[in-house]
Amino acid sequence: MSVYSLIIPIYNEEENIAELYRRVRSVMDRLDESVELIFINDGSRDRSLNLIRELQEKDDRVCYLSLGRNFGHQIAVTAGLNFARGQAVIILDADLQDPPELIPDLLEKWRQGYQVIYAQRTKRKKESWFKRFTAYIFYRLLQQLADVNIPTDTGDFCLMDRRVVNLLNSMPEQNRYIRGLRSWVGFRQTAIQFERDPRFAGEVKYTFRKSFTLAVNSLVSFSKVPLRLSTYLGLFSAFLAVLMALLVLYWRLYQPHSPLTGFAAIMIAILFLGSVQLVCIGILGEYIGRIYEEVKGRPLYTLAEVSGFEKIPTKGDFHK
């Protein structure tokens, strides 16, 4: 007999929780095995935690963690993975953009012997052109640069086998780009396609800043190409410098009155080199900042409350 775990990170999702539970429950009730439904409250400032507590009182299968403050989506999911006990673990967004009705399909693939089944978006409904455009560019850039093949247009919505979850749990990194780590593990992975629904209710919790940080994190965590960029830029500007020297020599010898040897040319050269150097230092800084984070080795999150993990759910568990 096996157990499935559903992991749902929650950050100010009070308008979504009731509908989310309704839809997840109707899927859970139809599954052949027992399920634990793990909510991770990521420092919500609204009524989310109270709503989760109420659900837990009604339903034995619900357990929850409440983090000490807002640690961000990836860390909230990490906390859920640390606590999940299922043989198959499914990560789901709280805003119903990832339809729970897809869970039986994910499980079907898992039974066929896949260790990671990720849901791939074929279409994003009602998201701004800016988000769609930047996401499009980002996923393709990441695929070009990353050391592992991170499939395009996949989110965190996926099913992972116990073996994969154990591996993720054993990774000590602070900068956790779960999609990347999941791909890094390898084994048998497959995709199922779906159309991503719009948010059921509430505001997007991933602000532009959070999305940008996630993008930089994923690039820096999974690629050393940006570091090499400074070497390439250095070589390129050395080449330009030689070219310029030859030109100046030519002008000196054959066209002593050329206006191009003046102030403007010097300014351009100074600004060009200055900015190349600053960009390179910035890129170095991104890596060094992350080394600093890792070296400190702080815990990934703090726990304010843990509830419902006393017993592993068995089939038939429902109302207390």
Complex with Mg ion: residue 164 or 214, whichever CB lies closer: 214
* Alpha carbon of residue 30 to chain centroid: 30
Complex with ligand UDP: residue 97 or 218, whichever CB lies closer: 97
Rule CB under 5 A: choose which of 95, 153, 156, 161 binds Mg ion. 95
- Told to check if 49 binds ligand UDP by CB under 6 A, we report no
Complex with ligand UDP: residue 20 or 107, whichever CB lies closer: 20
Output the CA angle 306-67-151, nearest 5 degrees: 110
- Tell me the C-alpha distance between 61 and 269, whole Å: 66
- Tell me the C-alpha distance between 33 and 161, whole Å: 15
CB of 70 to Mg ion, least distance (A): 16
Tell me the CA distances in angstroms from 57 to 33, 50, 54, 60, one per residue in order.
Answer: 21, 11, 5, 7
Backbone angles phi, psi at 302, to 5 degrees: -115, 150
- Told to check if 78 binds ligand UDP by CB under 6 A, we report no
Rule CB under 6 A: choose which of 3, 9, 109, 157 binds ligand UDP. 9
Binding-residue total with ligand UDP (CB under 6 A): 16
Sheet of 3-10: strands edge to edge? 189-196, 116-124, 154-161, 88-91, 3-10, 34-41, 62-67, 303-307
Rule CB under 5 A: choose which of 97, 115, 175, 223 binds Mg ion. 97
- Told to check if 158 binds ligand UDP by CB under 6 A, we report no
Rule CB under 6 A: choose which of 15, 36, 59, 93 binds ligand UDP. 93
- Tell me the C-alpha distance between 188 and 181, whole Å: 14
CB of 196 to ligand UDP, least distance (A): 8
- Told to check if 86 binds ligand UDP by CB under 6 A, we report no
Residue from 143, 38, 133 nearest 94 by CA: 38
Binding site for ligand UDP (CB under 6 A): 9-11, 13, 42, 70, 72-73, 76, 93-95, 97, 204-206
Binding site for Mg ion (CB under 5 A): 95, 97
